[in-house]
Structure 1
Amino acid sequence: MTSKTVTELLSQDATLQDVTVKGWVRTFRANRFIALNDGSTINNIQCVVDFENLDEALLKRITTGAAIHVTGELVKSQGKGQSVEIIVKTLEVLGDSDPETYPIQPKKHSFEFLRENAHLRTRTNTFSAVMRLRSSLSFAVHKYFNENGFNYMHTPIITGSDAEGAGEMFKVTNLDSKNPPLNEDGSVNYKEDFFGKETNLTVSGQLEAETYAMSLGKVYTFGPTFRAENSNTSRHLAEFWMIEPEVAFMDLAGNMDLAEAFMKSVLSYVLENNREDLEFLEKRLLDEEKSKPQAQRSEMSLIEKIKFVVDNNFKRVSYTEAIDILKNCKPNKKKKFNYIIEEWGADLQSEHERFLVEKHFKCPVILFDYPANIKAFYMRLNEDGKTVRAMDILFPGIGEMVGGSQREERLDVLKEKMKALDIDEKELWWYLDLRKYGTAVHSGFGLGFERLVMFATGMGNIRDVIPYPRTPQNAEF
């Protein structure tokens, strides 16, 4: 008999048919009722056993966390909360289970404790829901780009360039750390290293993606990126995943159109396909909000926030207009912001971005034309000489979600910007070649995937939306 998933069984009518299912015991009550879950759904299926027909030694092995194989009759449930249940005919405990040491007991655990047991935390409802949503969002990303003519590109993880100019990168080397080869001036001689030069783990696939966009037209990357930033905030990881489309012959307006359509598409997908998980996470979030002071509570539920993005047109506002709004708003004048906006050129913080979205415009916002001195070298300089064709998309509850720009396609201007920032032309000769041979307007954006998962799940810490978080002093599992 073919084994069924819990999802398949719960979607069937009670037809008194014999079924078989495998999963993990969530609870075992009164030596009679097993709540069984196999990860296919947030819901458990109830398996009813006749303990008098079970061996006492077998009963002792049916504990929380045990893997079991059940065969029985699918019938209409006699209890509340489920439409069908299984009257067990045969039950087999698969492998070993130690109830004395199993850490994920049927009670509330702190997220900190669950991070210490990340290999088992998806046995809980919260983390199984989060990871199913992560999987669905990942599929929706590929689905959107595939249906819209994009080519999927795998950019290098090991790189000799720093796309962001941040300098906070992980070195990749096979030199002897205790006795590396040295130059005459005492510096490390990386010519003796594996790649013959200094290399690092990538912070972005953008620059390489640009090269492919200028031949394939529309490409995207979706892969791991790394930053050696010594930060322990709830928004930072040392290893995370980035989504980066690049499109030839597309200007900033087209880039904004693409980003808005993309965000609405992937979020619509989970609304349609992960409703039960979203409803569970929404309830969890509402329960969590009750413990907060009224002023700190969110005005929208989780599903309302997602619909807020899907159902509203994104408001497009220049950075200059946004600064004027923020300078003159009540929170700024009454010094309620942690970072007071005093003049044009300020780097906006999450509190400013959320004010624009949640209080002022009451819809998602796309800010564009930022000051050149707070943005990356590759962004196209506007005719005013002080702003660049950059854009950020702002969401409720989280602030910046997407960052992108029209790329600088003019060779002379790009060289001047690189010189001003002391970026060596020799290191990016291939990037400059794009401006020599068939140069054209092109644009793209970047989206940190974990930030998207945080928004869609309502989780407050980025460590809880990636299977095994990599943070300072932590590379467990």
Structure 2
Amino acid sequence: MTSRTVAQLLSDDISLQEVEVKGWVRTFRADRFIALNDGSTINNIQCVVDFENTDESILKRITTGAAVHIKGALVESQGKGQKVEIQVNDIEILGDSDPKEYPIQPKKHTFEFLRDNAHLRTRTNTFSAVMRLRSSLSFAIHKYFNDNGFYYMHTPFITGSDAEGAGEMFRVSTLDPKNPPLTEEGEVDYKEDFFGKETNLTVSGQLEAETYAMSLGKVYTFGPTFRAENSNTSRHLAEFWMIEPEVAFMDLAGNMDLAEDFMKSVISYVLEHNKEDLEFLDERLAKEEEKLPQAQRSPMGLIEKLKFVVDNHFKRVSYTEAIDILRNSKPNKKKKFDYIIEEWGADLQSEHERFLVEKHFKCPVILFDYPANIKAFYMRLNEDGKTVRAMDILFPGIGEIIGGSQREERLEVLKEKMAALDIPEEELWWYLDLRKYGTAVHSGFGLGLERLVMFATGMSNIRDVIPYPRTPQNAEF
């Protein structure tokens, strides 16, 4: 007999059949009722043990966390809360779990405690739901790009360039840290290192993706990126996953069209395929919101927020128009914002972005044409000489979720921008070559997977949407 998943047993019309199932015990009460879960669904299946005909030594080993193999009859449940249950005919203990030591007991645990036990936290409803959604979102991302003619590109993790120009990169080296080779000037001689030059872990695959877009047309990357930013906030990780499409012959307007269609597609996918997980997380978030002061509560529930994105057209607004709106807004005039908007050129904060989405336009917003001095060197300079063809997509509850731009395709302009930022041409000679040999308009954007998972699950800390978070002073597991 083939073992079935709990999800199959709860969804298929196969009652009154002999079945097999394997999973982990969530609870065992009255020496009779096992709540069994195997990770395939947020729901448990109840397994009813005939304790009078079950060996006492087996009963003692049915503890929270134990792995079991159950055989029995799937029948209509006599109790409330489930349609079917299993009348157990045979139970085998596959792996014991010491009830005195097992950390994930059937009670409420703090997220801090669960981070310390991240290897077991997916045995809880919240984290199993979050990680199933992360998996579904990842699949939906690949599906969207595959269905739309994109080629999946694997960009290097080890690089000699800094795509963002921020300098917050992890160094990759095989040199002896206690006795590295030195130059005549007394500096570390990286010519003696493994790669013959100073190298780092990548912060973005964008620059390499641009090279492939300029021959394959439409490509995307989806992989880990790294940022050595010493930040312990709820929004920062040292290791995170990025989705970065790049498209040849596409301008900023096309980039905005692509990003909007993409986001609606992946969110629609989880609304359709992860209903039970979303309903659970929606209810969890509502309970958490009840503990907050009214002013701090989200204006929308989780599922409502996801449908808000899918059902609304994304309003397109220039940065200049947004600054005027914010400068004249009540929160700004009454100094309710933590960061008061006083003049053009200000770098917008999450509170400003959320105001535009949730209060002013009441729909997702795409801001475009940002000041050049607050954006990256590779973004195309506009004719006014002070703004670039950048875009950010703003969502309710989170603010910016996507950042992108039309890329600077003009060789001399790109050289001037690099020189102004002290970016050596010899470091990016290959990137400049794209502007020499068949240059053309091209665009792309970046989406942090963890930011998307936070939005889709209602989780407030980025450490809780990645299996094993890497943060300052923490590389456990």
| TMscore range, shorter length | over 0.9
Within a 5 Å distance, the mapping from 1:264-283 to structure 2 comes to 264-283=264-283
Task: Measure the CA separation in 1 of the matches of 2:97 and 2:342.
Answer: 62
Task: Measure the CA separation in 2 of the matches of 1:298 and 1:432.
Answer: 46
| SS of residue in 1 equivalent to 2:169 | coil
Q: Which residue of 2 aligns with 1:161?
A: 161
Residue 231 of structure 1 and its aligned partner are, at CA, apart by: 0.3
Contact map agreement 2:129 2:281 (CA 8 A) in 1 = yes
**Superposed CA offset, 1:362-392 (max 9, x none):** 0000000000000000000000000000000
1:391 and 2:387 matched: no
Within a 5 Å distance, the mapping from 1:376-415 to structure 2 comes to 376-415=376-415
Percentage of matched positions with identical amino acids = 86
Q: Which residue of 2 aligns with 1:472?
A: 472
Q: Which residue of 1 aligns with 2:184?
A: 184
Aligned residues: 477
**Superposed CA offset, 1:7-54 (max 9, x none):** 110012353110000000000010000000000000000000011111
Contact map agreement 1:220 1:244 (CA 8 A) in 2 = yes
Quick one: which amino acid aligns to residue 283 of structure 1?
A: E
Q: Which residue of 2 aligns with 1:323?
A: 323
Task: Measure the CA separation in 1 of the matches of 2:53 and 2:238.
Answer: 53
1:210 and 2:206 matched: no
Contact map agreement 1:181 1:188 (CA 8 A) in 2 = yes
Task: Measure the CA separation in 2 of the matches of 1:196 and 1:367.
Answer: 42
Within a 5 Å distance, the mapping from 1:32-47 to structure 2 comes to 32-47=32-47
Quick one: which amino acid aligns to residue 220 of structure 2?
A: Y
Residue 98 of structure 1 and its aligned partner are, at CA, apart by: 1.0
| SS of residue in 2 equivalent to 1:210 | helix
Q: Which residue of 1 aligns with 2:346?
A: 346
Task: Measure the CA separation in 2 of the matches of 1:299 and 1:340.
Answer: 23
Quick one: which amino acid aligns to residue 299 of structure 1?
A: P
Within a 5 Å distance, the mapping from 1:36-435 to structure 2 comes to 36-435=36-435
Contact map agreement 2:234 2:461 (CA 8 A) in 1 = yes
- TM-score, normalised to structure 1, is 1.00
**Superposed CA offset, 1:131-179 (max 9, x none):** 0000000000000000000000000000000000000000000000000
| SS of residue in 1 equivalent to 2:306 | helix
Task: Measure the CA separation in 2 of the matches of 1:11 and 1:450.
Answer: 30
Task: Measure the CA separation in 2 of the matches of 1:70 and 1:84.
Answer: 15
| SS of residue in 2 equivalent to 1:422 | coil
Contact map agreement 1:13 1:84 (CA 8 A) in 2 = no
Contact map agreement 1:4 1:19 (CA 8 A) in 2 = yes
Residue 198 of structure 1 and its aligned partner are, at CA, apart by: 0.1
Quick one: which amino acid aligns to residue 445 of structure 1?
A: F
Structure 2 gap segments, 5+ residues each: none
| SS of residue in 2 equivalent to 1:444 | strand
Residue 73 of structure 1 and its aligned partner are, at CA, apart by: 0.3
Task: Measure the CA separation in 2 of the matches of 1:386 and 1:17.
Answer: 71
Task: Measure the CA separation in 2 of the matches of 1:11 and 1:254.
Answer: 42
Quick one: which amino acid aligns to residue 32 of structure 1?
A: R
Task: Measure the CA separation in 2 of the matches of 1:158 and 1:381.
Answer: 29
- TM-score, normalised to structure 2, is 1.00
| SS of residue in 2 equivalent to 1:355 | helix
**Superposed CA offset, 1:185-207 (max 9, x none):** 11100000000000000000000
Within a 5 Å distance, the mapping from 1:10-29 to structure 2 comes to 10-13=10-13, 15-29=15-29
| SS of residue in 2 equivalent to 1:367 | strand
Q: What is the RMSD computed on CA atoms of the aligned residues?
A: 0.5
Task: Measure the CA separation in 2 of the matches of 1:318 and 1:95.
Answer: 59
Contact map agreement 1:14 1:76 (CA 8 A) in 2 = no
**Superposed CA offset, 1:48-84 (max 9, x none):** 0011111111111000000000000000000011100
| SS of residue in 1 equivalent to 2:426 | helix
Task: Measure the CA separation in 2 of the matches of 1:12 and 1:267.
Answer: 26
| SS of residue in 1 equivalent to 2:138 | helix
Quick one: which amino acid aligns to residue 385 of structure 1?
A: G
Contact map agreement 2:48 2:85 (CA 8 A) in 1 = yes
4+ residue stretches of structure 1 with deviation over 3 A? none
Quick one: which amino acid aligns to residue 467 of structure 1?
A: P
| SS of residue in 2 equivalent to 1:305 | helix
Quick one: which amino acid aligns to residue 441 of structure 1?
A: V
Contact map agreement 1:14 1:84 (CA 8 A) in 2 = no
Task: Measure the CA separation in 1 of the matches of 2:145 and 2:14.
Answer: 41
Structure 1 gap segments, 5+ residues each: none
